[in-house]
Structures are given as structure tokens and as C-alpha cells.
Amino acid sequence: MYEFLKYLSFLWRSKNEHAVHSPFVYKLITEGVKTRIPPELKQLLPKHYKYLIGQQLKIKVEDFGAGSRVFKSEERGVDQIAKVAGMSQKTQELMASVTAYFKPKNMLELGTSLGKGTVAMHIGHPEGNITTVERCPNTLAEAVKGFKRFNFDNITPVNALFTDFLNDDDQSWDLVYLDGGHTKDFTLFTFKQLLPKLHNDSLLILDDIYWSAAMTEAWQQIKAHPEVTVTIDSFHWGWVFFRKEQPKQHFVLRL
């Protein structure tokens, strides 16, 4: 109910490109999110999904953070996970367009699940390097099978807690997609760990900013952080930029 009410509020508050007075953001939403993906790459999205829902086996899933709203048992069918978890194809296409537009050299995904988001990042920019981190070994193993099935060779899977990975990581990231934890404390702690690894032109995308009131509070605190300049609330995603040449601005946009 919380998420539904927030969506109604979003529809009331959100604007389109005509209300944007930032050239950077205007170009992003009029060109960037509409960046064309070659058909031979775009068709891999439904093919990968068809592969996942064709996996008729059950795995034991270790949930961390807020857990699942759908599944009550640790034992879950891979096909069922694929149907209800991760990105929709529309969101995958948006992610692919974003990575095609920015062409990030080094991408980090925190929360692989079955790899639907990872594949979208790959399709947008196959020349980029993707590191995807997932704590549940069984879920990650199924994702890796899919990566190998379609020869996605620019993806490095890591089985680790986000905290442990970030403690040991010394990489500078151009794009980070955070899709895991879904609690206020976890999100803010992860954001704090990520900050030293981000640069002026990095993009951080936070998933499910209206998952709960606590997640929305985390989003508000991230927006207010002094190193954050531009943010976009597109309801399901919170977009965070660190461009020092930009005035601090917050947008609520229908993408």
C-alpha cells in the first residue's frame, strides 16, 4: 500500500522534459534514455528471459536485507524467480539505453539475482567491463549459466557480501547499479562505502527507492549529501550524479 500511494503521488508530482531547465538532464531524458540499441543485441533480452523461464529446477535461495515480498520458502524455482524478480523487459531496455548513452568503461552491479539487469548493462555497452556481486551462491550460479549460454564474456561474477566486496575493492566505477538490501541502514552504509570509488562523471542508480518508508528516507538523505549534485526520481529508480559543474538540483521525471 505504501508503494502504491507513493506511485499516485509520483504521478501527481512528476514532470516531462518540458519542465527541465538543466541542459545535461534535458539531453539525458530526450536523447540518452532513447538511445537506440542494435536489433541483434536487443533481441537477446527476450531470448535470455525465455532461457531463464525454461529452467525447470529449484534452488535454495539465501535472502539478505529486506528479503522477498513474494516467496515465503527458501526453495524456489528458477523459472518462478525469473518471472517475478529483477527487471522487466521495459526496464532492461531503459538500462541498456543508459549504458549505451554513457558508455561506462567500468560498471558495477550490486545484486545479480538471475542476471537480468547484468544482461541489460552488457547489451547497452558490450565493450564495457561489468562486475556483478551476489551473496547467494546458488542464484549466482544460475545467472552464470545464462551468461555462458549467450557468451557474455565481459561479465565478472563475484559471490560475496556487498560490504566485503567493497572493503577489498579499489576500482573506480563509472556506473553503479545498487539492487539489494532494501533497508535504510544497508543502503546508506553501502552508499558511504561507494563514495570514494565514484568520480565526477559517475552515475549511481538506486533501485526501489519507494520499497518502504525507510527506503524513501534513505533516498532523501542521499539526495541531501553534499557530494551529490543532480538527482532524478523516476519512481522505481533514483539516479544520482556527482558533477561538480552542476548546481544542486532534484528532478521528479516520467521516463
Identify the pLDDT of residue 64.
Answer: 58
- CATH number where 65 lies: 3.40.50.150
Of the candidates 170, 232, 199, 171, the one whose C-alpha atom is nearest the C-alpha of residue 14 is 232
Q: What is the rounded distance in angstroms from the CA atom of residue 176 to the CA atom of residue 183?
A: 18
User: Where are the alpha helices (H) located in the chain, listed in sequence order?
Assistant: 2-13, 23-30, 39-42, 44-53, 78-84, 89-102, 116-124, 137-149, 162-168, 184-194, 213-224
- Which residues does 172 contact at the CB level (< 8 Å), separation at least 6? 106, 197, 198, 199
Instruction: Express each pLDDT in 220-233 by its tens digit.
Output: 999 999 999 999 99
Q: What is the rounded distance in angstroms from the CA atom of residue 129 to the CA atom of residue 229?
A: 26
Identify the pLDDT of residue 76.
Answer: 84
Of the candidates 64, 71, 46, 74, the one whose C-alpha atom is nearest the C-alpha of residue 179 is 64
Residue 250, CA distances (Å) to 4, 12, 31, 35 in order: 22, 16, 19, 23
Identify the pLDDT of residue 169.
Answer: 95
Q: What is the rounded distance in angstroms from the CA atom of residue 53 to the CA atom of residue 70?
A: 17
Q: What is the rounded distance in angstroms from the CA atom of residue 213 to the CA atom of residue 5?
A: 11
Backbone phi, psi, residue 106, to 5° = -120, 115
Task: Tell me which residues of the chain have a pLDDT lower than 50.
Answer: 66-70
Note whether 146 and 122 are within 8 A (CB).
Answer: no
**Strand duo 106-110 + 75-77: pairing:** unpaired
Helix (H) or strand (E) holding 60: strand 58-60
Identify the pLDDT of residue 67.
Answer: 47
Identify the pLDDT of residue 30.
Answer: 93
Q: Count of domains in the chain?
A: 1
Instruction: Express each pLDDT in 120-149 by its tens digit.
Output: 999 999 999 999 999 999 999 999 999 999
Identify the pLDDT of residue 167.
Answer: 96
Helix (H, G, I), strand (E, B) or coil at 241: strand
Q: Which pTM does this prediction carry? A: 0.93
Q: What is the rounded distance in angstroms from the CA atom of residue 143 to the CA atom of residue 119?
A: 10
Residue ranges making up the domain that contains 236: 2-252
